[in-house]
């Protein structure tokens, strides 16, 4: 069986990387759009409706426009943008979210790919909310350290004009300081928290790699729990998930001399979740490749789940 796949936004950061994944596959025929027609509505409409799966790797408004062009009921749309992530008519494309999420992705023709920060945040915290340890009304504080490719083509260009880079691009840069980052709605909805987190990301002078750190105050837990207990709840939740690795509570084994490497999962679709701290103060940290499990890898994984080929076609 060969699936016809169209990548709307094939020249963007996410689209290019999806094409790299697809180029390795013999079960996929990629429908290419001519370079000069990339923004031509009629041509996009033709290719979207000729496809079994269309990936949208576009800004939000263009993604909504593409969805309005779909008239083939068999076309499955996987949208990498923020436009549809908490829309109830869409399925959240995170197979590890819950036991029934794969079945939902398989059945749905509208799949919203999670945001990169949101993927890490949700995977780290949802097991603790589900277990009843973290009360839903807890306001979590979290940060994220991310590479600049998360900002797409224009941010990449800013950072890669190396000789002309202003000095400030050579240091980490906190952003989203109005504390209204666009991932808050999905972070809240899919963890089960009833309050949006205080979330504040930092972009650094490296291409890719991301780690979200959430601060836990054990005195807010519904019962007494050690770091080992928290680690076990998360590890049990993801037992059998090949892309999720819950690290042991062992600083010497999980850090490099006490430093945590945010690039450790680059070029993979993997997520590592680590619990640090002590009985009074804890951190839960999830790291991933923002272009892997944070974007393109996740989109291809969602396609695999939808098509029922997840086990046979490996992302690493």
Ligand X SMILES: NC(=O)C1=CN([C@@H]2O[C@H](COP(=O)(O)OP(=O)(O)OC[C@H]3O[C@@H](n4cnc5c(N)ncnc54)[C@H](OP(=O)(O)O)[C@@H]3O)[C@@H](O)[C@H]2O)C=CC1
Question: Which residues belong to the active site?
Answer: 116
Q: Does 32 bind ligand X (CB under 6 A)?
A: no
Verify binding: residue 9, ligand X2W, rule CB under 6 A: no
* Alpha carbon 116 to its chain's center: 3
Q: Is 77 helix (H, G, I), strand (E, B) or coil?
A: strand
- Of residues 53, 203, 246, 307, which one binds ligand X2W by CB under 6 A? 203
Interface pattern 83-122 for ligand X (x via CB under 6 A): --------------------------------xx------
Q: Which is nearer to ligand X, 38 or 104 (CB)?
A: 38
CB of 274 to ligand X, least distance (A): 22
Q: From residue 27, how far is each of 2, 5, 16 by CA, in Å?
A: 5, 10, 19
The reply to whether 150 sits near ligand X2W by the rule CB under 6 A is: yes
Angle formed at CA 212 by CA 109 and CA 310, multiple of 5 degrees: 35
Q: Does 197 bind ligand X2W (CB under 6 A)?
A: no
116 sits near ligand X2W (criterion: CB under 6 A): yes
Buried (b) or exposed (e) across 97-121, using 16+ Cβ within 10 A? bbeebbebbbebbbbbbbbbbbbbb
**Is 150 one of the binding residues for ligand X (CB under 6 A)?**
yes
61: tokens are 């408004």
What is the gyration radius of the CA atoms in the chain, in angstroms? 20
The residues of the shown chain that bind ligand X, judged by CB under 6 A, are 9, 11-15, 38-39, 57-60, 62, 80-82, 115-116, 149-150, 152-153, 290-291, 294-295
């Amino acid at each position: 069986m060969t699936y016809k796949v169209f990548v709307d936004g094939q020249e963007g950061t996410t689209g290019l990387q999806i094409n790299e994944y697809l180029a390795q596959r013999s079960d996929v025929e990629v429908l290419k759009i001519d370079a000069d027609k990339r923004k031509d509505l009629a041509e996009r409409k033709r290719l979207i409706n000729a496809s079994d799966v269309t990936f949208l790797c576009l800004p939000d408004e263009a993604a909504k426009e593409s969805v309005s062009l779909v008239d083939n009921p068999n076309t499955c749309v996987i949208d990498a943008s923020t436009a549809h992530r908490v829309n109830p008519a869409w399925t959240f494309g995170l197979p590890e979210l819950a036991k029934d999420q794969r079945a939902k992705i398989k059945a749905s023709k509208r799949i919203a790919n999670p945001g990169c920060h949101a993927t890490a945040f949700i995977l780290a915290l949802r097991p603790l909310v589900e277990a009843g340890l973290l009360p839903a009304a807890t306001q979590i504080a979290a940060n994220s350290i991310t590479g600049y490719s998360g900002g797409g083509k224009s941010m990449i260009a800013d950072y890669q004009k190396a000789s002309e880079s202003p000095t400030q691009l050579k240091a980490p840069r906190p952003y989203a300081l109005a504390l209204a980052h666009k991932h808050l709605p999905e972070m809240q909805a899919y963890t089960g928290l009833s309050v949006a987190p205080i979330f504040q990301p930092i972009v650094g002078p490296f291409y890719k790699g991301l780690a979200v750190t959430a601060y836990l105050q054990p005195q807010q837990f519904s019962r007494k729990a050690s770091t080992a207990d928290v680690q076990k709840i998360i590890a049990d939740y993801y037992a059998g998930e090949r892309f999720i690795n819950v690290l042991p509570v062992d600083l010497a084994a999980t850090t490099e001399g006490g430093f945590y490497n945010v690039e450790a999962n680059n070029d993979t679709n993997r997520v590592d979740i680590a619990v640090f701290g002590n009985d009074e103060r804890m951190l839960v940290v999830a790291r991933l490749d923002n272009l892997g499990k944070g974007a393109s890898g996740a989109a291809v994984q969602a396609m695999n789940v939808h098509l029922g080929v997840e086990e046979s076609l490996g992302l690493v």
